[in-house]
Amino acid sequence: MLIGSDLQVSIAYADDIAVIAWGTNPVGIDIERTDAQPPEGMDVLAWTRLEALGKAAGTGVRTWPQQTPPELTTEPLDLPDQYVGTVAGNALGWRLIAPRPA
């Protein structure tokens, strides 16, 4: 949250790709390379989902999924082949805009 504002912001990056989520409701976003090493037993996309939910919930990954608010939903990001990512937030007011190279 930005001090003095209702705007919620989440930022993540991998290599030279950055992704940003913002809104007036809680949001979280994460991106990883497909060759990243997530915790044992998880695939990389599942790890980005966990990270995005933790950011949106404001808890990080330490309490996920036990205390993740039920109104938070996730959507995978459309990224270049060597990356995966997830955005999390309140599904009633979000729009996904695909990244474009600069």
Average the pLDDT over 28-39 and give the result: 94
Contacts of 8 (CB under 8 A, 6+ apart): 1, 22, 23, 24, 25, 26, 27
3-state secondary structure of 21: strand
The pTM is what?
0.82
Residue 85 vs residue 98, higher pLDDT: 85
Q: Contact, 8 vs 1, CB < 8 A?
A: yes
Q: Contact, 69 vs 54, CB < 8 A?
A: no
Q: What percent of the chain has pLDDT over 90?
A: 44
Chain position carrying tokens 């992704």: 19
